[in-house]
A and B are shown apart, each in its own frame.
Chain A
Amino acid sequence: MVDLTKLREMAKEVISREDVRELIGYRPGTYGFRVRPAFVTGPDDADDLVFTPACVNNLASYIVLEEKLPVKRGEEPDLRKVAVMVKGCDSRALLQQMEEKAYPRERILVLGIPCTGVVDMAKVQARFPDVLEVGEIALEGEKLVLSAGGTKEEVPKEELLADKCTRCRYPTPLVYDELLDAEVERFADDDYADVAEMEKRSAADKWAYWEEKFNRCIRCYSCRNVCPMCYCEDCVLLRLQPQWMRRSVDLSENTAYHISRAYHLAGRCIQCGECQRVCPVDIPLMELNRKFSKDVLELYDYEPGTDVENPPLLSTFKVEDREDFIM
């Protein structure tokens, strides 16, 4: 468990540094067990920072989500660092962004959090739908302790754990400037059994399955906006001339959207699960992403966001690259 006093002290020290502009972390939410992103710009804001198993958001997204206004005449751009708290999985997003040269390494200060797993907030919500008071989730041994408004409940960890955490390969961040706690040993592994299961199904069966899901997509694009790897300045979805993707919402366009996005993330998706987490209509997007992830691993022995020296998969070519699966 991350020591909160230590976390806040360290945050105060970091935000007081002259070369740091902002620190992105977590703070308690407005109701129930939710936690929300915190944007700290001065030492006083650091007092409510937390890290608990409720800290689900991948804050690496904010590094590429920032909207930069044109610098006014006579002013210099603010090139100070942004400090960001990342769990193991989230750190892969930073690595992949840097592999892709989204920004130079020295522009960020990485506060790594060795992580023992976060909850699936939908499961928490389903189990405790009536909690309004701001509560807290803590991990005690193999149990999650949820306390709010004077009451306490213990739930075995595996019942509320996020899916991605049950197969986490990198609980300790792969990149950091400061580590907030002792390294965590890998406690799970990923055999892609779920993908193998899906691969066995017939094409017609798979189509019926996805048809139901894609039909209810409202194209809110939250899955795109939250994704730390969806940061193209000129997104294919927004182009009107030519219009690559229609704005109309129907099964055909929704399917086109999801296929395009999955392909644009092939070899880039770092499996943080944020896209699926945010979807208001529960579309299991990770099933698509994990299929690509498995293929990329099996065909090219490549795992995005694990080695900053490794160039992005789709911008390299080796003579010995496999191509027997191409028609």
Chain B
Amino acid sequence: MAVKKLSKEKLGEALGELSKFRLIAPAKSDDVVVFKQIGDAGEAFLGYGNSTVPPKKFAFPQTETLFRFVVGNPELNEKNVEEEGTTVIFGLRPCDARAMAIVDKLFSWDFEDPYYLKRRELTTLVGMACVEPPSVNCFCASVGGNPFGTEGLDMLLTDMGDYYLVQELTDKGKKLAETLSAQLEDAAADDEKKAEQMALDAKGKIRRSIDTAGIPEKLPDLWENELWKKVSAACLGCGICTYLCPTCHCFDIQDEVEEMGEGRRCRMWDSCMFGEYTVHASGHNPRPTRKERTRNRINHKYSYYPEHFEVIACVGCGRCINLCPVNIDILDILDQVVDAS
């Protein structure tokens, strides 16, 4: 596929061109970087490390109406994802894009989730390579990713100083490049070589790591190990580590009454770290304490997912480490898993 370049002067113009689609890009809300729909190119903020909130909600909304209903009327007013239109997520990090590729496996597994898959079909992912790993807690290279990784992406941009190197990676990426034909230029002959070297350098700058070999196979044997009690003792049972994890995908389905006799059925993010997550109608809870919940979080990512889909469901973005209010650190937990017997 072709390799082009986009001069930084033309970035605004290119974003303007892309805003004829539903354009999602990193933007500032006070000092917090979140992905949001951009109306005007100036709103995009590309001087970010990684966003606090990953862009996953644009594939898997935190709250999604599945259909609306009126009591007594058998007709349902169903959601049509198509109406959301073609979407471009611009400037996401390689780990977050790879996370979407990983979550795709779940939503197209034993049941093809029409809402999620339709939305993914309509979405083009334009990544921004991590020339500098944005956080000391990045560990993508240990779990199959890397700062210049392309998995899940349709197009990858690399900041080369005055311009971005633009790599088309899929047909969707190619189509997007056609849309931007007025802004893109041919890349210089040695640009790709330079980027390859930058990719190696960036990988070398990743500071945290874990040898995951054997972890998925070992976890089932540690079910009753005392480590779970220890690593979860400080846990508050909040949703930070899961809601802000780009691969977490648990949801609940609830009905909400909007007006008298009218309502909607919606699906909303859920978190295995919440106390009510597995409460049965009888009141029994098979995961009664944070010990069982923490054990589930780690097992889901590092055991169940590899078992079903042959990939670890953690992309090493480091968010759960950076943002946990009580410094529960997934790499520390995994170290203990490795050491346990």
Contacts and interface: CB of A to CB of B under 8 A. Distances in A.
Contact of B30 (A30, A31, A212): A212
Interface string A233-258: 00000101001001111100000000
Interface string B198-230: 000000000110000000000000000000001
Interface residues of B, number: 47
A65 interface: yes
A57 B135 CA distance: 23
A31 B53 contact: no
A34 B328 CA distance: 11
B327 A36 contact: yes
B308 to A, nearest CB: 27
A218 interface: yes
B177 to A, nearest CB: 32
Given A29-B327, A32-B136, A277-B325, A248 B266 contact: yes
B63 interface: yes
A248 B238 contact: no
Given A31-B137, A61-B236, A69 B289 contact: yes
Contact of A215 (B29, B230, B290): B29
A216 B276 CA distance: 24
A213 B52 CA distance: 14
B329 interface: yes
Contact of A281 (B52, B266, B332): B52
Interface stretch (B40-48, B87-95, B239-247): B239-247
Contact of B238 (A62, A67, A220, A250): A220
A225 B236 contact: yes
Given A218-B243, A218-B244, A281-B52, A132 B208 contact: yes
Which of A222, A224, A240, A246 has most B Cβ within 10 Å?
Answer: A222
B34 interface: yes
Contacts, number: 121
B239 A222 contact: yes
B182 interface: no
A43 interface: no
Contacts of B186: none
B238 to A, nearest CB: 3
A274 B323 CA distance: 14
A226 interface: yes
A278 interface: yes
What is the interface residue range for chain A against chain B? 35 or more
A278 B62 contact: no
A247 B275 CA distance: 15
Contact of B236 (A30, A65, A131): A65
Contacts of B271: 220
Contact of B288 (A34, A69, A213): A69
B234 A37 contact: yes
A238 B274 CA distance: 10
Interface string B113-143: 0000000000000000000000111000000
Contacts of A221: 238-239, 274
Interface string B284-301: 000011100000000000
B268 to A, nearest CB: 5
Given A31-B136, A248-B256, A248-B266, A218 B53 contact: yes
Nearest to A277: B325
Given A218-B244, A249-B63, A132 B136 contact: yes
A69 B237 CA distance: 16
A30 B332 contact: yes
Given A61-B236, A132-B207, A222-B240, 8 more contacts: A39-B230, A67-B275, A216-B29, A218-B53, A218-B244, A221-B239, A238-B275, A240-B254
16 contacts: A36-B327, A39-B234, A57-B325, A65-B236, A65-B237, A213-B30, A218-B243, A220-B238, A225-B236, A225-B237, A225-B238, A278-B238, A280-B52, A281-B32, A282-B30, A282-B32
